[in-house]
Structure 1
Amino acid sequence: MSSCPNEGTSGPTVPPRAAGICVGQTLLSSSSAYSIMQFIGEGYFGRVARCVNRRTNETVAVKILKKDTNSDHNTENEVTILKLISVLNPDQCNLVRFFETFQHLGHKCLAFEMLELDLYHLILQMGNKPMLLLGIRPIAKQLLVALDALKSLGVLHTDIKPDNIMIVNKREMRIKLIDFGLAVLASQVQPGYIVQPMGYRAPEVSLGLPFTEAIDVWGVGCVLAFLYLADNVFSVTCEYQMMRGIVELLGQPEDRLLLAGQYAERFFIQEEAAEGKTWRLMTAEEYSFENSTTVERWRSSFVQPKSLDGLVDMYAQKNAEHADRLAFVDLLKRLLRLDGDRRISASEALQRPFITRSHLSTECFTPSKLTSTCCSEENSDERLDTALGYEADQEGSDSVFEPIAYRPSMTPELSDPSNNLQERFHRFFRGIKNSLFCCVSPMVEYENSLS
């Protein structure tokens, strides 16, 4: 956490690797011994190793921190936060499980449960395809549950991003929030601190305003947009382009916020107008001159809409999808409110229609019987997961065609009893059961199957 608004674009230099620690070595704590199998990550504060706990034969992740007195404060802060949140159930609150901390050859080590894949690399593995709302919904719910639990302890994560959200179970899309190295207590927050990664940073932080746990809610909004777009919604490499993207998509922060912000004049200019003084965003040239820096060009894989409402019609869709996308965008608008004091809380967001699915039908359709029954939301979720192939034992297994949530308004053709509904359902889900991540092709394939 920094109190200075100026940031380098290249990032800090990665420190040298810990001398004397290598694959095959055993890390000893007071209660366990961890054999290093391989190093799986490296960052500014140290390395992460996949290890086997020789006492339990369990695979764990051990974060091995570098020897550096400058990082001692950050290390102690992380341990303090981890011990504080240990009172929470990590599985119910969707937080990484922390086992212990110990010293090895002068290096502080932190042992966690082993989690294999983060959301950023999941999207990469899927060929940078947008995720269906069916997959985004459980992720959103679990993140909001995690933030609500952290808020109950007065903890701000401050580093919400796809890289720090790990998948526990891919088929059920169960996730956990990791990396509390930059977490801070709400009681210790001071205006002017610069926290959060670029592109996921709340406006109040960039402007130098007081901030609360609401900054993590903003981070969740950016993560959900990332999953929907398969790209960052705001620039992650240039502070000016990040602010420009926020203004173009969400509007300009109110004058009262700009007047109160310590760093507002880094991005905005106050000018005289007929109605009095007004604020406007600097041009790239003005920003470069005023801040003695270069504005990087923002390269995005999508054409940014003029507002969040433009996300609704970004992909091909059917009637039932439209209602879900409206609910999704409604949630995004509340998560990404410019004024942190007016932004929705995690507990409030959990009650929004996109999470509760109150806007969707709970009727279930059984193709094999051509009958309708009523099922609970939980069972509906399970059946929808099954329809996508999560629970299929074998590829192509007919188990994916068990009862699913059926909405009569899905297409006009499906509401016509004269059609062969069973065959149409089989063809529809055969096209999407192996892919959660294509927002377009399943519907295109379905339309082609009807022609």
Structure 2
Amino acid sequence: MESSRSRKRTRQELDSTGDPPPEREVVARGGASPPWRDDDRDGHYVFDLGENLTRRYKILSKMGEGTFGRVLECWDRETREYVAIKVVRSIRKYRDAAMIEIDVLNRLAENERYRSLCVQIQRWFDYRNHICIVFEKLGPSLYDFLKRNRYQPFPVELVREFGRQLLESVAYMHELRLIHTDLKPENILLVSSEYIKVPSSKA
């Protein structure tokens, strides 16, 4: 779910190999997958920046980590876009939960009208006993946005727009008989990753 959405744009500053611009490069490893290694003690996939997650995706950074797994920023060599991949822990209960999540995400994507309000799944795959869910890459969470602006109050117009989009997306989920059980600023994503400063309310 996100606010002020616009269609995602592919970056144009690409080299002839289809890899990200030089400043985003970390360690070149060609198109091969890294050698097999054990997961960490919590079942998380162990990786190095610059490695590949299958031959298609190049790992650029870790965007976040939660109970179910880690989210990695990757470069999609096929579509030539940046994506966010949720790599689920290799533990049975989390793998089972991930399959339910995939089903829910596919249901949310069925209605074109509401695709602009709910995060979009692109595909999923099973890699080395980890369910990997590929999402469009979005911007910071509403919480990060607040934090960057030192928790300044939002202008009323912005609050209204956030509220409108949230209510529309939740209403759509209810039409599908789905309930969002973890609605909080950390789970509301903005479309743009660019830093936006909230106008000061002080005179």
Higher helix proportion:
1
Contact 1:17–1:66 (8 Å) recurs in 2: yes
The correspondence for 1:42, drawn from 60, 65, 73, is 65
**Equivalent residue number for residue 91 of structure 2:** 68
**Equivalent residue number for residue 89 of structure 1:** 112
Offset of residue 73 of structure 1: 2.6
Offset of residue 79 of structure 1: 1.2
Contact 1:90–1:97 (8 Å) recurs in 2: no
Q: Which amino acid aligns with 2:45?
A: A
Three-state SS of the structure 1 residue aligned to 2:93 is helix
Closer, same or farther: CA 137–49 of 1 in aligned 2, 3 Å: same
Offset of residue 92 of structure 1: 4.8
**Equivalent residue number for residue 44 of structure 2:** 17
Offset of residue 70 of structure 1: 2.4
Q: Which amino acid aligns with 1:18?
A: Y
**Equivalent residue number for residue 357 of structure 1:** none
Offset of residue 60 of structure 1: 0.4
Greater CA radius of gyration, 1 or 2?
A: 1
Three-state SS of the structure 1 residue aligned to 2:60 is strand
The correspondence for 2:52, drawn from 23, 26, 32, is 26
Closer, same or farther: CA 90–76 of 1 in aligned 2, 3 Å: farther
1:56 is the counterpart of 2:83:
no
Scaled by the length of structure 2, the TM-score of the pair is 0.73
Closer, same or farther: CA 40–170 of 1 in aligned 2, 3 Å: closer
User: What are the residue-to-residue correspondences of 1:91-106 with 2, within 5 Å?
Assistant: 92-106=115-129
Scaled by the length of structure 1, the TM-score of the pair is 0.34
**Equivalent residue number for residue 320 of structure 1:** none
Distance in 1 of aligned mates of 2:130 and 2:43:
13
Contact 1:93–1:149 (8 Å) recurs in 2: no
**Percent sequence identity over matched residues?**
27
Closer, same or farther: CA 163–36 of 1 in aligned 2, 3 Å: same
The correspondence for 2:151, drawn from 105, 125, 128, is 128
Distance in 2 of aligned mates of 1:62 and 1:90:
24
Q: CA RMSD in A?
A: 2.2
For residues 336-367 of structure 1, what are the alpha-carbon distances to aligned partners after superposition, in whole Å with 9 as ceiling and x for unaligned?
xxxxxxxxxxxxxxxxxxxxxxxxxxxxxxxx
Contact 2:95–2:130 (8 Å) recurs in 1: no
Distance in 2 of aligned mates of 1:138 and 1:435:
14
Offset of residue 140 of structure 1: 0.5
Contact 2:95–2:131 (8 Å) recurs in 1: no
Unpaired stretches in structure 2, ≥5 consecutive residues = 1-40
For residues 371-424 of structure 1, what are the alpha-carbon distances to aligned partners after superposition, in whole Å with 9 as ceiling and x for unaligned?
xxxxxxxxxxxxxxxxxxx8xxxxxxxxxxxxxxxxxxxxxxxxxxxxxxxxxx
User: What are the residue-to-residue correspondences of 1:283-322 with 2, within 5 Å?
Assistant: none
Offset of residue 16 of structure 1: 5.0
User: What are the residue-to-residue correspondences of 1:173-252 with 2, within 5 Å?
Assistant: none
Q: Which amino acid aligns with 1:17?
A: H
Offset of residue 71 of structure 1: 1.7
Closer, same or farther: CA 87–58 of 1 in aligned 2, 3 Å: same
Closer, same or farther: CA 126–22 of 1 in aligned 2, 3 Å: same
